[in-house]
Amino acid sequence: MGGVSSSLDQLPLRDDLRGLKPYGAPQAPLPVALNVNENTHPVPQEVADDILDAVAQALRDVNRYPDREFTDLRESFADYLGHGLTRDEIWAANGSNEVLQHVLQAFAGPGRTAFGFSPTYSMYPLLARATGATWVAGERARDFVVDAESAASQVADASPDVVFLCAPNNPTGTPMGLDVIEAVYDATDGVVVVDEAYFEFAPRDERSALTLLPGRERLIVSRTMSKAFAFAGARVGYLAADASVIDALRLVRLPYHLSALTQAAAVAALRHAPTMLHMVDEIIAQRDRISATLDALGYDPHESWTNFVLFGNVDDPARTWQDLYDRGVLIRDVGIPRHLRVSAGTEAETTAFLDALASIDSKA
């Protein structure tokens, strides 16, 4: 298009969006990319073949609109999650961010507030503001933990319409006890969203917030296929909640928001859940290896129930990040002073990161 292009400041943008920056992590074609908490293991070949067959079959009817209620997919998610859930208590969208956006569109918006304990997932405030809501940040202890009493008190004081509880937390990896979730729920009349994007990486004997759903019609538990299922490129997120919440989300979703191809791919992947989740054990092993080695190198790795490790005692995070970048390893500076975050990759990727970190004088 010809002519002189204008700057963003010259456009009639909403006042509350001026000065904001879009979400985004650095992207670079480096040999080892461990900066965005992806599952770096490829989808197993037998699963990929089944997904390709399912997508090919869906293509035959791609001239028609997809199932607006994505019935088969909701059935598959209900079967995967268990806990007596039915498809009427399941919702899904193009990644968990769109799922959370639907929640905010339905329960927050202009004149309302959304709340979370900082530092937490950076998309929460962005989604809140994009939907017209005001973001209120609560506080964590110095070790990033939130206890039940403090959580309930802060939520009661803020009186938010939507509360986000990232459990375990991103970007810190910190666990959150069910007692905290129960206390927060009792302290508010608003909707409480427990974001369990990384729950599959928690200890096997830990209870999910899904166990708290019965009798709590304002509680929502969200998940994603991006992490444990190695499905980040497919963009599939979902949640479980009371059927009345699902009805509310129908009011704000776009028509036919999940394509037939997305639905087919996700249903096929869920048929192979045990195979897809087998790699989780390997990722956990690499995560724990990273933590142990970081500790030996003089850093302070924080407890993590995720597929990444946040580590402190980094004298110059910007320099350390750049030194690793120069060695072909990409990790993440999440803006927490003297901290950096690294995703657990394959054994080879983890080795590359640890060797690169050991080779630089980052503690000087």
Question: Does the global pTM surpass 0.85?
Answer: yes
Q: What is the pLDDT of residue 2?
A: 55
Does residue 4 carry a pLDDT above 80? no
The domain defined by 24-43+275-359 carries CATH number 3.30.457.10: no
Confidence at 336, pLDDT banded by 50, 70, 90? very high
**For residues 270 and 80, is the Cβ–Cβ distance under 8 A?**
yes
**For residues 256 and 66, is the Cβ–Cβ distance under 8 A?**
yes
Q: Which of 12-16, 65-69, 257-261, 327-331 has the lowest mean pLDDT?
A: 12-16
pLDDT in tens, 170-197: 999 999 999 999 999 999 999 999 999 9
Q: Amino acid identity, residue 29?
A: P
Confidence at 3, pLDDT banded by 50, 70, 90? low
Q: What is the mean pLDDT of the chain?
A: 94
Confidence at 6, pLDDT banded by 50, 70, 90? low
Q: Do β-strands 191-195 and 237-241 pair in parallel, antiparallel, or remain unpaired?
A: unpaired
Averaged pLDDT for residues 278-293: 96
25 or 87, higher pLDDT: 87
Does residue 90 carry a pLDDT above 90? yes
pLDDT in tens, 197-232: 999 999 999 999 999 999 999 999 999 999 999 999
Q: Helix, strand, coil proportions of the chain in percent (round to 5)?
A: 40, 15, 45
168: cis peptide before it, omega within 30°?
yes
The CA dihedral of 134, 135, 137, 138, to the nearest 10 degrees, is 70
Q: Which of 3-7, 154-158, 180-184, 289-293 has the lowest mean pLDDT?
A: 3-7
**Domain range 45-271, CATH architecture:** 3-Layer(aba) Sandwich (3.40)
Residue ranges, CATH 3.90.1150.10, the chain: 24-43+275-359
Q: What is the pLDDT of residue 5?
A: 59
Distance CA 274, CA 9 (A): 50
Highest mean pLDDT among 3-12, 37-46, 235-244, 270-279: 235-244
Distance CA 75, CA 82 (A): 11
Q: What is the pLDDT of residue 364?
A: 40
Q: What is the pLDDT of residue 278?
A: 86
Q: Amino acid identity, residue 75?
A: E
Averaged pLDDT for residues 157-173: 98
Q: What is the pLDDT of residue 361?
A: 65
DSSP string, 175-226: ---HHHHHHHHHH-SSEEEEE-TTGGGS-TTPPPGGGG-TT-TTEEEEEESS
DSSP 201: G
Closest CA to 309 of 342, 335, 283: 342
Residue ranges, CATH 3.40.640.10, the chain: 45-271
For the chain, percent of residues with pLDDT exceeding 90: 90
Confidence at 358, pLDDT banded by 50, 70, 90? very high
Averaged pLDDT for residues 128-134: 95
For the chain, percent of residues with pLDDT exceeding 70: 96
**For residues 100 and 193, is the Cβ–Cβ distance under 8 A?**
yes
Strand partners of residue 221: 194, 240
345 or 17, higher pLDDT: 345
